[in-house]
Amino acid sequence: MVPKKIEEAFSEQIKHELESAYIYLSMAAYFDAEGFEGMGRWMRAQVQEEVTHAMRFYKHIIERGGHVKLHPLAMPQQDWQLPLAAFEAAYKHEQFITAKIDDLVKLAQAEGDHASRTLLQWFVDEQVEEEASTSKVVQELKLVGNEGRGILMIDRELGARTFVLAPDLAALYAQPAAAGA
Ligand code: FEO
C-alpha cells in the first residue's frame, strides 16, 4: 500500500509533470508559428516525454493500491521574444522540477518508503539530463547570438530529436492480446 502522504505528493507531481508538458506544448506552438521547425519538433518530443513522467507516478500509485487525484493545470506563457528566451525559461522550469523531485526524495526518506525511493532515483538521474539538455541549447543560442545562420543550424540539429517510449512503460499503452490469439 502506498503511504497517504506519498500518494498525495505524487498526485501533485503528476500535475507538475503535466504542466511541464503544457508549457513545452506552448513553446512548440510558438516555435512552429515562428517557422523554427526543428525547435518545434524538439519541444513536441519533450511534451511526450513529460507525459510519460506523469505516467510513471500514475503507474506507481495505482500498482500500490492508491488513488490518483488530478489537479487543475496552470495556464502556460504563450509567447517569447526569442528562441533563447524560451529555452532559458525551459531550463529554469527544469530546475524547478528538480527541486520538486528533491522534496519528494526527502518525503520518501521520512516515510521510510523504499519503493518510492527507487522510483525517485530514476527521476533524480533524469533531472540531471533534463537540466543538461535545456542548458546546452541555451549555451548554443547564446554563442550564436543574433546570427541567423547559426540559429538555423541549431534549429536543424534540434529537429533530429524523436520521442521513443521507454520499454518499461510500453505495457501501459499496449493493446490487450486478442482472445484466442
Ligand atoms: Fe519531467 Fe522535464 O521533467
Residue 61 has pLDDT above 70, yes or no: yes
The count of other CB atoms within 10 Å of the CB of residue 51 is: 16
The answer to whether residue 180 is domain-embedded is no
Residues 6+ apart with CB under 8 A from 81: none
Question: Is residue 181 very low, low, confident or very high in pLDDT (cuts 50, 70, 90)?
Answer: low
Which position has the higher pLDDT, 171 or 4? 4
- How many domains are there within the chain? 1
The answer to whether residue 174 is domain-embedded is no
CA distance 177 to 30: 40
* Res 176: pLDDT: 80
The count of other CB atoms within 10 Å of the CB of residue 167 is: 7
* Res 178: pLDDT: 74
The CB of 19 under 6 Å from ligand 1? The reply is: no
Residue 179 has pLDDT above 90, yes or no: no
Which position has the higher pLDDT, 132 or 181? 132
How many angstroms is it from 177 CA to the middle of ligand 1? 32
The answer to whether residue 46 is domain-embedded is yes
The mean pLDDT of the chain is 96
Q: What is the DSSP string of 79-95?
A: --SSHHHHHHHHHHHHH
pLDDT tens per residue, range 114-156? 999 999 999 999 999 999 999 999 999 999 998 999 999 999 9
The answer to whether residue 175 is domain-embedded is no
The CB of 53 under 6 Å from ligand 1? The reply is: yes
* Res 72: pLDDT: 98
Provide, rounded to the nearest whole percent, the portion of the chain with pLDDT above 70: 98
The CB of 93 under 6 Å from ligand 1? The reply is: no
The answer to whether residue 132 is domain-embedded is yes
Geometric angle at alpha carbon 44, from 21 and 33, rounded to 5°: 110
pLDDT tens per residue, range 98-111? 999 999 999 999 99
* Res 180: pLDDT: 62
Q: List the CATH number of the domain containing 38.
A: 1.20.1260.10
CA distance 68 to 32: 33
* Res 175: pLDDT: 82
- Tell me the average pLDDT across 37-62: 98
Domain holding 56, by residue range, is 4-169
